Amino acid sequence: MKLKRFMTFAAVTAAICATGLQASHAQDYPTKTVTVVVPFAAGGNTDTFGRLVAEELDKRLGQRFIVENKPGAGGNIGLGDLARSKPDGYTIGMGTVSSNAINQTLYKTLPYDKEKGFAPISLIASLPNVLVVNPDKIKANNVEELIAFLKTEPGKHTYASSGVGTSIHLAGELLATKAGIKITHVPYKGSSQAILDVVAGHVDMMFDNIPTAAQQVKAGKVKALAVTSLEKAALLPDVPTMASVIPGFEATSWHGLFAPPGTPPEIVEKLSKEVQAIIAEPAMQEKLKAMGVTPVGNTSAEFQTFIDKETAKWADVIKAANVPLQ
């Protein structure tokens, strides 16, 4: 009996101590260097956003935020590492539409628990895609004409992508399912090679991230028909949105910050507030907009709702288009 009472006492004390520790822990956080895992190669978009934010967190929180690139398997390797690291806020990581909303459906197995997922900190930025066509191959000046043209020759035309299961590929599948047309998918490794083949006319059209495609559009090598964000894009202000023709059509490539599952909510909250403040700064807004990117910055809860919505949307597209699972 005595022992049982002691055990209860000990357990309660331990619990109090633990919460107390955790609270003070979150208040002091960070007291040492924080690692920011970027699950893609250095120099890419995700890496750039990760470094921009890490640099500012560094200045604001007075601790080093070090970016570590762990590329491979569409972001799965880096996220696997993130999921396995201690949920104490000293390892956080970047995630994207592919790694955190598409791979969940596309890959049969992931190196982490799909159900547990991650603790979202904040969405950082989103990149709209633009639908470009080779003017010699596709006789259309807008999306309505394109759909009508493709309906007359079903299965005869091709669209390029930066790889199976990328947001660029799935944007094409989304168009095919929503408009009820048949187009052949021609995947490449990365979009730079793909857009070149659209320019040369080997492939008829593609969706591409705006920053890279805008150059070819401005040089007159390809024709831009529509952007895939709900609002018009700053880099191509004259191009209408897909949503104006197909209501609700949205396919952006977004990038956000995540913590491992089980990270104390206070720490996630603190980081989220900081990231939102960083993105709200005029200098940061300028920098991101110049890159053709829409700055976002939202709360953990908002980010989670967004991810759930995106995951469900892309799961439907993958199923409807019969994209083979990996």
Partner 1 sequence: MDIFSNLLLGASTAFMPMNLFYGFIGCLLGTAIGVLPGLGPTATIAMLLPITFGLPPESALIMLAGIFYGAQYGGSTTAILINLPGESSSVVTAIDGYQMARNGRAGAALATAALGSFFAGSVATILLAVAAPPLAAVALNFGPAEYFSLMVLGLVASVALASGSLLKAFAMIVFGLILGTVGTDVESGTPRYVFDIPELYDGLNFVAVSMGIFGICEILRNLEGEHERSVGVKRVTGLMLTKEDLKRIIAPVLRGTALGSFLGVLPGGGAMLASFASYAMEKRISPNSAEFGKGAIEGVAAPESANNAGAQTSFIPMLTLGIPGNPVMALMVGAMIIQGITPGPNVISDEPALFWGMIVSMWSGNLMLVILNLPLIGLWVRMLTVPYHLLFPAIIGFCCIGAYSINNSVFDVFVMAGFSVIGFALSKMRFEPAPLLLGFILGPMLEENLRRAMLISQGDPSIFVRSPLSLSLLVFAVVVLALVLSPSISRKREEAFTE
Cβ pair 92, 273 in contact under 8 A: no
Amino acid at 58: D
**By CB under 8 A, is residue 135 in contact with partner 1?**
no
Contact 54, 255 (CB under 8 A): no
Q: Which stretch binds partner 1 (CB under 8 A): 72-80, 276-284, 289-297, 309-317?
A: 72-80
Q: What residues between 231 and 290 interact with partner 1 by CB under 8 A?
A: none
CB of 64 to partner 1, least distance (A): 17
Q: Output b/e per residue, 155-179; b: 16+ Cβ within 10 A.
A: eebbbbbbeebbbbbbbbbbbbebb
- The Cα–Cα gap between 326 and 321 comes to 15
Residue with smaller CB distance to partner 1, 163 or 261: 163
Count of residues that interact with partner 1, criterion CB under 8 A: 39
Name every residue whose Cβ is closer than 8 Å to that of residue 197 and which is 6 or more positions away in sequence.
160, 186, 188, 203
CB of 215 to partner 1, least distance (A): 9
173 near 165, Cβ under 8 Å?
no
Q: Does 156 contact partner 1 by CB under 8 A?
A: yes
Are the C-beta atoms of residues 205 and 224 closer than 8 Å to each other? no
Is 43 a residue that touches partner 1 (CB under 8 A)? Answer: yes
The reply to whether 114 sits near partner 1 by the rule CB under 8 A is no
> CA 118 to CA 108: how far, in whole Å?
18
Backbone φ and ψ of 122, nearest 5°: -165, 145
Provide, rounded to whole angstroms, the least separation between the CB of residue 251 and partner 1. 18
Instruction: Pick the closer one to partner 1 by CB: 58 or 68.
Output: 68
- Does 72 engage in binding with partner 1 (CB under 8 A)? yes
CB 99 within 8 A of CB 74: yes
Q: Does residue 32 belong to the site contacting partner 1 (CB under 8 A)?
A: no
Residue 33 makes contact with partner 1 by CB under 8 A:
no
Distance CA 46, CA 52 (A): 10
* C-beta of 306 vs 314, nearer to partner 1: 314
Residue 73 CB partners (closer than 8 Å, separation 6+): none
**Interface pick for partner 1 out of 100, 158, 253, 311 (rule CB under 8 A):** 158
Of 265, 273, 261, 155, the C-alpha closest to 204 is 155
Kindly state the smallest distance separating residue 188's Cβ from partner 1, in Å. 7
Q: Which is nearer to partner 1, 153 or 308 (CB)?
A: 153
Q: CB 57 → partner 1: shortest distance, Å? A: 21
Q: Report the residue number, 64 or 156, with the smaller CB distance to partner 1.
A: 156
Smallest distance from the beta carbon of 80 to partner 1, in angstroms? 7
Distance (Å, whole) CA 176 – CA 317: 10
The distance of closest approach from Cβ of residue 236 to partner 1 in the complex, given in angstroms and rounded to an integer, is 20
Q: Is residue 69 involved in binding partner 1 (CB under 8 A)? A: yes
Half-sphere exposure in the Cβ direction for 1 (13 Å, CA): 0
Residue with tokens 């995540």: 258
Quick note: the x/- pattern for partner 1 over 174-203, rule CB under 8 A, is: ----------xxxxxxx-xx--xx--x-xx
Give the interface with partner 1 as residue ranges (CB under 8 A). Answer: 41, 43-44, 68-74, 76-77, 80, 106, 109, 111, 155-156, 158, 163-165, 184-190, 192-193, 196-197, 200, 202-203, 323-324, 326
